[in-house]
């Protein structure tokens, strides 16, 4: 089974994929980690040294290669992955179960405010700017996120509850 977890930064894609992996026995992978290994560099350094366009190109290539090659996996994407290079079309591939983890703007702002440093897109924003940035960004990205096969709303739910909900879908 090919399970893809997507959603905005800070929604918990990586930690939920680990929990889901433990429960289901399906191995989990993280696209940001795959990129970091392949480039031998952190996401922040790739953005700083090579720029976002370069990042989006390798993100697309590695995402495509991964889902074409692997058969049984849970893959957590980066928040922007579905929104570039037609990656959203891959979310509907035969055999792919794509799940959008949806959270409110307030929820995401609260989760991200202390985790800005490692995220190049938001690291220079003040706490006040963050809320407005997320609101606009989510509005832009929503179109792509909606291309996933399922949506799971995560607001106010424990990780355990979310994983249970995902297990019922797959
Ligand atoms: C990004 C999200 C990040 C990472 C990069 C760009 C985005 O992943 O891929 O910083 O465009 O939303 P997380 O969603 O895991 O933070």
Q: Is the CB of 32 under 6 A from ligand 1?
A: yes
Domain at 2-103+148-169: CATH code: 3.40.50.300
Q: How far apart are the first and last CA of the chain?
A: 9
Distance 84 CA to ligand 1 centre (A): 12
pLDDT tens, N- to C-terminus, the chain (170 residues): 999 999 999 999 999 999 999 999 999 999 999 999 999 999 999 999 999 999 999 999 999 999 999 999 999 999 999 999 999 999 988 899 999 999 999 999 999 999 999 999 999 999 899 999 999 999 999 999 999 999 999 999 999 999 999 999 99
Partners of 155 in the β-ladder: none
Rounded to whole angstroms, the Cα distance separating 121 from 53 reads 13
Residue written as token pair 């963050």: 130
Q: Is the CB of 120 under 6 A from ligand 1?
A: yes
Q: For residue 31, report the distance from its CA to the centre of ligand 1, in Å.
A: 10
For the chain, domain boundaries: 2-103+148-169
Ligand 1 centroid vs 77 CA: distance in angstroms? 8
Question: b or e along 80-104 (b: 16 or more beta carbons within 10 Å of the residue's beta carbon)?
Answer: bbbbbbebbebbeeeebbbbbbbbe
Global pTM exceeds 0.75: yes
| Cβ neighbours of 115 (radius 10 Å) | 12
Asked whether 79 lines ligand 1 (CB < 6 A), one says yes
Residue of the CA atom closest to atom 4 of ligand 1: 78
Alpha-carbon gap, residue 145 to 98, rounded angstroms: 10
Q: How far, in Å, from the CA of 107 to the mean position of ligand 1?
A: 17
């Amino acid at each position: 089974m090919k399970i893809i977890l997507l959603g905005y930064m800070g929604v918990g894609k990586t930690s939920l994929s680990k929990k889901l992996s433990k429960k289901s026995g399906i191995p989990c992978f993280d696209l940001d980690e795959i990129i970091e290994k392949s480039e031998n560099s952190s996401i922040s350094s790739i953005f700083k040294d090579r720029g976002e366009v370069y990042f989006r190109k390798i993100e697309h290539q590695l995402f495509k290669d991964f889902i074409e090659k692997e058969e049984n996996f849970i893959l957590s994407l980066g928040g922007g992955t579905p929104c570039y290079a037609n990656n959203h079309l891959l979310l509907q591939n035969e055999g792919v179960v794509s799940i959008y983890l949806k959270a409110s703007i307030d929820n995401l702002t609260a989760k991200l405010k202390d985790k800005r440093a490692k995220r190049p897109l938001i690291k220079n924003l003040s706490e006040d700017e963050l809320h407005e940035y997320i609101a606009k960004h989510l509005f832009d990205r929503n179109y792509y996120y909606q291309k996933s096969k399922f949506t799971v709303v995560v607001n106010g739910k424990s990780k355990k509850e979310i994983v249970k909900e995902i297990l019922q879908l797959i």
